[in-house]
Amino acid sequence: MMEALNGLLTGFGVILTPANLYLCFLGSLIGTLVGVLPGVGPLAALALLLPVTFTLSPIGGMVMLASIFYGAMYGGSTTSILLNIPGEAASVVTCIDGHQMARQGRAGPALGIAAIGSFIAGTLGVVIMTFFAPAIAAAAIRFGPPENFALMVLGLVCTLFMISGSTIKGVLMMALGFLTAAVGLDVVNGRERYTFGSVDLSGGIELLALVIGLFGVAEILSNVETMAKTTLLADRIRGLWPSLADWRASWRAILRGSGLGFVLGLVPGGGPVTAAFMSYALEKRIAAQPDRFGKGAIEGVAGPESANNSAVAGSLIPVLSLGIPGNPVTALLLGALIIQGIQPGPLFIAQQPDLFWGIVASMYVGNVFLLLLNLPLVGLWVQFLRIPYRVMFPVVLLLCVVGTYSANKNVFDLWVMLGFGVAGYVLRKLEYDLAPFVIAFVLAPLLEQSLRQSLVMSSDGAMILIKRPVTGLLLAASVVLTFLMFRRRTKTEGGLP
Amino acid sequence: MFERALNVFWVVLGATSAVYAWSLGMIGPAGPESGLFPFIASVIVASAGVVLLLRPATLAHAPDFPRGGGLWRVLGVILGLIVMAAGMPYLGFSVTSFITMIILLRTVDRSSWLSAVTLAFLSTVSVFWLFGSMLGMALPRGPWGW
């Protein structure tokens, strides 16, 4: 307890410098903008800005990237409430009751409760993270390659367990992620694999090109296909502060959303999107008058918006304390750390205390920035919503090109981005979930290294993975979860999973 | 039909990749070789493809591919990116992105020539200024030096 508080003080010492405060504010500002603008998700924005962070210190870069992630959760609600289209995926459910409130002339309280709920949940999430992450890292510090391997397997199985749609398609995507990551040099002996003599492929597939293609270009292709017309209800924003009755209806939903979001953020495959959906379902189920939902119930805004913010803090714990990302955004953050020469894992907090505690402290500060940015400046964000998508998307596409190119200064990456963009667009249409692909792609080198190190240190082959108690337990949990997953899918789909 | 063809593709991809991974070596005297991990991944891809192929046709998803205006807009974006990737090494970032923007604004937005050229010029100059000058990124330049 005291150790965590001391660490937090160190973190505030790191973050409370003009340069880091500026980067935290800039990240919060960009995050809010990304959340507000439909068609630009936090993942694509992080990927676009990742090369910019290469020129910053690791702490500055990570503070900026993390604040874009949680800033987007704040901004997404504005678009959902005023336009009835989600600014980003975690704000989809906010459209249901938030937009109804706006239609009834209550856009102000809807925006207000979304921002205040986000602030409360975001802060509560970081408080729990402050004490929880070091405890997890301390427990995992004795892990060797077999335990790390088993932990990553469990993380991947959890991801598959949580995805929507077909499990078998999720498994296929995961394996495809492993295969794509195998292109280039073997991490252990430096031998070329799947390069077919190409110099461009010998460096492997660039993470940024892949992510910007799958989540940036594919999103643009989906959006330009429909080019839906929307109605902005911006003239109805009055009185952002919720009334006493609104507070009475919302405070429990905010607390429930905070708790649920945090737990779902911890689980690989969970994260802000799942948290928001689950919170909405929970609020509706336990409501005294469930028929109010869908007609402007303020709990339907307060719960999900709190849950998606709390889930951000939860989802950062496995990546910072174990080195295991639970969703594509945290996978990219892990990639960013690796590019900076830092390997997150159980030793991360002990070896990089300034960086870890700096990130944690920046989240306290960032939440305050975001509250200030989202409530008094709501009028500014509304102006951005007036920009038609047909004008915005070419600029976003240009940014995708610059973001991809700037990673390696290699035009080949643009072809990779285009290829993954088209593939992502088609695969989305066929209801393939892309999250397992990205997570597997990022984890593959670590997973392969752990597996091979485990087999090298073993005297009886793969038995090492069963004989060690922690490894055995983690793999047994993976097997049970896999069995449950396939049984559930077989039952619900009435056929093959 | 499209999904069936894709499932066949997964099977072929997984099988071909597995054969290639096998050729890299599986287990050697020093332990696991370079082919072991991709071989496992390839087998999973091929097996998942087989399972998807065996699913009843009623479970196969019929994708809603774009038609008419939607198709033109999607193709416009893809064409714009092809021009960007193909032209950048020769024409540099500024000229290529200017041409790409005009393609995008004319095919996707159906903007007038005047507004397409104006918007393309402004956005290209803004992005070049922000990333090339302010953030110091080395964007490719054409034979004329910009």
Please tell me the pTM assigned to this model: 0.83
The tens digit of pLDDT for each residue in B76-99 reads 999 999 999 999 999 998 999 999
What is the three-class DSSP state of B52? helix
The tens digit of pLDDT for each residue in B50-69 reads 999 988 776 666 677 888 88
B7 to chain A, any CB pair closer than 8 A? The answer is no
Angstrom distance (rounded) from CA A491 to CA A463: 33
Angstrom distance (rounded) from CA A364 to CA A42: 19
Averaged confidence pLDDT in chain A: 86
Which residues in chain B touch residue A448, judged by CB atoms under 8 angstroms apart? 37
Q: Tell me the nearest-neighbour CA distance from B19 into chain A, angstroms.
A: 12
- A173 by Cβ neighbours in 10 Å (0-12 / 13-18 / 19+) ranks as buried
Angstrom distance (rounded) from CA A238 to CA A245: 17
What's the pLDDT score for residue A228?
64
Nearest of A261, A430, A234 to residue B63 by alpha carbon: A430
The tens digit of pLDDT for each residue in A66-97 reads 999 888 888 888 888 887 777 777 888 888 89
Share of chain A above pLDDT 70, in %: 95
What is the three-class DSSP state of A184? strand
What's the pLDDT score for residue A24?
94
Q: Are strands B27-28 and B31-32 parallel, antiparallel or unpaired?
A: antiparallel
Q: Tell me the nearest-neighbour CA distance from A69 into chain B, angstroms.
A: 21
Alpha-carbon distance values, A420 to A227, A427, A451 (Å): 22, 10, 28
B39 to chain A, any CB pair closer than 8 A? The answer is no
The helix (run of H) or strand (run of E) holding residue B31 is: strand B31-32
B28 to chain A, any CB pair closer than 8 A? The answer is no
Phi, psi of A284 (to 5 degrees): -65, -40
Angstrom distance (rounded) from CA B89 to CA A36: 35
In this structure, what token pair is assigned to residue A16? 């409370």
> In this model, does residue A496 exceed pLDDT 60?
no
**Taking CB atoms and an 8 Å limit, are B85 and A55 in contact across chains?**
no
**Taking CB atoms and an 8 Å limit, are B24 and A406 in contact across chains?**
no
**Taking CB atoms and an 8 Å limit, are B59 and A495 in contact across chains?**
yes
**Taking CB atoms and an 8 Å limit, are A411 and B31 in contact across chains?**
no
Task: Answer yes or no: is the ipTM higher than 0.85.
Answer: yes
Contact present, A44 and A220 (Cβ < 8 Å): no
What's the pLDDT score for residue A489?
66
In this structure, what token pair is assigned to residue A352? 């990089």
Contact present, A29 and A35 (Cβ < 8 Å): no
Secondary structure (DSSP) of A464-497: HHHHSHHHHHHHHHHHHHHHHHHHHHHHHHSS--
